Structures are given as structure tokens and as C-alpha cells.
Amino acid sequence: MIYLLLSILSSSMIYVVFKLLDNFKINTLYAIVINYFTATIAGYVMHSKPITLTEITEQNWFVGSLILGVLFITVFNLMAATTQKSGLSVVSVASKMSVAIPIVFVIFYYNETTGILKVLGIILALVAVYLASIKTKKGIKVEQKNLIFPLLVFLGSGVIETLIKFLEENYVAENDVAFFSTGVFLCAAVVGIIAGLLQFFQKKIKFTYKELIGGIALGIPNYFSIYFFINALRGSLDSSTVFIINNVAIVMLSTLLGILFFQEKLLRKNWIGIALAIVSIILVAYTTY
């Protein structure tokens, strides 16, 4: 349970840092690239033994970590495109509702038990995520020509969490969580530097010290969010329970942090979403114990 709580806290801190990046007008892609290098260094420090590039490429999970690295950068760019075309609420809903994908995967692939209360908790959790993510009174509206972008964000975000579960369950040794996390972030860093160079040559956006500081601030909680999340999946709770509690609690805590630190104003539907989030966590946790 402690790993799950630390995962929720780390992931919520990522939200805070992203808000600060926006407030200080920091180029997000450059900060993302630095973030992945920072997370790689954090993983190297956390691992008990020295890590070499050859060792990473020889692991059974290397191809999977490379796919994750590509997905991290791809989904990030899709989220940016969705925000520009349809607004922040749309990308928020698409990315957070994607928790349905890994939940369905672990229930059917690993034959996890479900009951009426757990199914009800999952449904309430998805409703809670939707309501807590909508920041406009009119809800969300997506033009048909732009529908592909939130759909891809939904699929990409869901595939990332599903693939993390599959790799850690089948290929990552008990004591190699830090090693695996390092490999994932190193692959993401390599893909990210290519994307960053393309942006630099196309748009001539300069790299400044602000991107360096922002990337470091983002990279530390980002590394630990993955590290603690994988360890939480290896705990006593069902994976579907971990996915639900982790994602719903992140939405709830991030919303509360927005009120506390950024004076964000919540609509009635957001408060209802928070209330449903608490109920869903209680239901899912109750069925586990």
C-alpha cells in the first residue's frame, strides 16, 4: 500500500510541475527531453549495480521499453495537438479515461476476480474522472474532423499502462525495477532528443536554462511515479484495483492541489467528481479486503 500512496503522490507532483512550466512559459518539449534524461540518471543512482548500455539492450524487456519510449513522446505530442484543437478538458478526459484499457486487460488476461461492488466501483471511478476533469460549464465538444486526436490519446495512454503491466509481470526480475525504469526513460530520452532537434530546426525555438531547471524538476517525480507504480503492481492488491485507485486518486489529489497552489475554481460537477472518486476508491478497496 505504501508504494501505491507514493505513486499517487509522485504522479500528482508531476501535475504541479507541469502547471509551473506553463506559468513560466517554459518550452514543454525541451523540458520533457531533459526530464527523461533526469529520470534516467535517477534510475542509475537507484540501481544497486552499475548499468551499461549493452546490459540494457540485452534485456528481454528492451524492445518493450523502446516501444514505451516512442509512445511517451508520441502521446505527449498528440496531447499537445488535442489541446490546441479541442481544449485542455478534452485531453484531460481522454488521457485519464484511458485507465479503462489496462483494467479490462488485467481482468481478462490475468483472470482477476470481479464482483458487483468492484464493477460498480470501476464505473463510478470512470464517471468521477470525467466529472473531475471537465473545467467548463458546457462540458466538452469535439469537432468530427478533430476526433482522431483524443481517440489516439485515449488509446496511447491506455497502451502505455497496459504495456508497463505486461512487461513487469513477464520480463522484469524482482530486483530489477530500477533497472527497467532506467531503460524505459533512456529510450524515451533518445526518442525525445530526436523530436527536440526536429522542433529546433523547424521552428528555431531556443533552449534556455529554464527548460533545464523545469526538466530536472519534472524528471525526479516522473521517475519515482513509474518506480513506485511498478512496485505497487507487485504488491498484495489486484492490478485492476491498483489501476483504479492510482488513477482516480491522482485526479482527486491533482484537483485539490490546483485549488491549494494555483487558486483554481471548481464547478459543481468537479466536486461531484471528487465525491464519486472517494466512493469508488472505498468500494474497490473494500472488495479487495
Backbone phi, psi, residue 140, to 5°: -115, 150
Tell me which residue range forms the domain holding 176: 2-288
What residue spans of the chain are helical by DSSP H?
Answer: 2-23, 28-46, 53-57, 62-86, 88-97, 100-109, 116-133, 148-170, 177-203, 209-233, 239-262, 268-288
**What pLDDT sits at residue 198?**
82
Q: Cβ distance 132 to 68 under 8 Å?
A: no
> How many of the other CB atoms lie within 10 Å of CB of 66?
19
Task: Identify the residue with better confidence: 287 or 120.
Answer: 120
Question: How far apart are the C-alpha atoms of 15 and 133, rounded to whole Å?
Answer: 13
Instruction: Tell the burial category of 19 from Cβ atoms under 10 Å away from its Cβ (0-12, 13-18, 19+).
Output: middle
Per-residue pLDDT at 230 exceeds 70: yes
CA end-to-end distance (rounded Å), the chain: 12
Question: Residue 27: its pLDDT value, please?
Answer: 85
Residue 102: the pLDDT is: 94
Q: How far apart are CA 288 and CA 244, in angstroms?
A: 12
Q: Tell me which of 119-128, 132-141, 223-232 is least confident.
A: 132-141
Please give the average per-residue pLDDT across 103-126, as a whole number: 90
Q: What is the rounded CA–CA span in Å between residue 263 and residue 266?
A: 9
Confidence (pLDDT) at 186: 92
At residue 60, the pLDDT reads: 92
* Alpha-carbon radius of gyration of the chain: 19
Question: Domain count of the chain?
Answer: 1
Which strand (E) or helix (H) includes residue 135?
Answer: none
pLDDT score of 248 more than 70: yes
The closest of 217, 227, 97, 129 to 172, measured between CA atoms, is 227
In this prediction, residues 246-260 reach a mean pLDDT of 89
pLDDT above 60 (res 61): yes
289 pLDDT higher than 60 = no
Predicted TM-score (pTM) of this structure = 0.89
pLDDT value, residue 79: 83
- The three-class DSSP label of residue 60 is coil
